[in-house]
Amino acid sequence: MDVLRITERRVGDVTVLELAGRLILEEGELPLRDCVDRLVSEGRVNIVLDLGKVTRLDSAGVGMLVCKYLTAFHKGGRVKFLHLTPRADELMHVTKLAGVFEIFQSEEDAIRSFGPAPIQT
């Protein structure tokens, strides 16, 4: 079984989550929900989701991506997407979400798109 694994790292004030495995009903969407909810509760609301190693994505997974996008948005943050697989790209276009989400091919571009990190005083 290709259960979803999430690798988390910080780049400045941005958290990059690398997803690997299946983002599907009852396997992948719950760990993603819990991870993003924890980050947002810690005030870490600028998130890049790297989907390059997602082996399967279904409607529940897409629904969770939308839900977590809104979770961060309502707390003043953003979720941006990186390295969509061909299947994820197709789903984003079919559902018209490609026009809503910011999607990147370069991690550096995705991180830079959040703007400069706030100056710590």
Looking at residue 79, which CATH number applies to its domain?
Answer: 3.30.750.24
Q: pLDDT per position in the chain (121 positions), as tens?
A: 578 999 999 999 999 999 999 998 876 678 999 999 999 999 999 999 999 999 999 888 899 999 999 999 999 999 999 999 998 899 889 989 999 999 999 999 999 999 976 555 5
Whether residue 14 is contained in a domain is answered as: yes
Domain extent, residue 104, equals: 5-112
At residue 117, the pLDDT reads: 63
DSSP 8-state symbol, 37:
H
Euclidean distance between CA atoms 90 and 54, whole angstroms? 14
Whether residue 118 is contained in a domain is answered as: no
Whether residue 45 is contained in a domain is answered as: yes
Q: Would you tell me how many other CB atoms lie within 10 Å of the CB of residue 10?
A: 10
Whether residue 57 is contained in a domain is answered as: yes
Number of domains in the chain: 1
Contact 33, 47 (CB under 8 A): no
Whether residue 121 is contained in a domain is answered as: no
Residues 87-100: b if buried by 16+ CB within 10 A, e if exposed: ebeebbeeeebbee
At residue 107, the pLDDT reads: 96
Orientation of helix 59-74 relative to helix 29-41, angle to 10°: 10
**Alpha carbon distances (Å) from 120 to 68, 69, 116:** 27, 26, 12
